Amino acid sequence: MPSQICHVLAGISSRKHAGFAPDPQHIPLFNLGCQGPDIFAHNRRTKPFALAYARLLHRRRYGAFCRVAAVSLRNSPDPQIRAWLAGFVTHQAVDRMMHPYIVYRSAELPAKAVPGVSPALYHAFFERIIDVLILRRQTGRQAASFNTDPVFRLSRDACAILSRFIAATLRSVYPESAADDPLLEQRVTNAFWDTRYFYHLTNPARTGMSIPANKSAITHFSDRGPAGVALLYPENPDAAVDWLNDSRSPWKDPVGGTPRHESAGDLFDRAVGEGAAVIRCLEAVLSGDESPEALEQLAGNSCLSIQNADGSIAAVSYADPLDLPAELVRETALRERWISGLSVDPVKGELV
* Side-chain half-sphere CA neighbours of 96 within 13 A: 28
Domain membership flag for residue 345: no
CA distance 349 to 352: 9
Q: Over range 259-264, report the average pLDDT.
A: 99
pLDDT band at 315 (very low <50, low <70, confident <90, very high): very high
3-state SS, residue 309:
coil
Q: Tens of pLDDT along 42-86?
A: 999 999 999 999 999 999 999 999 999 999 999 999 999 999 999
Domain membership flag for residue 152: yes
Domain membership flag for residue 78: yes
- Number of domains composing the chain: 1
Domain membership flag for residue 350: no
> In Å, how far from its chain's centre is CA 3?
3
Domain membership flag for residue 344: no
3-state SS, residue 295:
helix
CA distance 351 to 257: 40
Domain range for 98: 4-339
Domain membership flag for residue 346: no
Domain membership flag for residue 352: no
Residue 219 has pLDDT above 90, yes or no: no
Residue 94 has pLDDT above 90, yes or no: yes
Residue 349: predicted pLDDT: 59
Domain membership flag for residue 151: yes
Residue 1 has pLDDT above 70, yes or no: no
**Which of 211, 12, 222, 233 is CA-nearest to residue 130?**
233
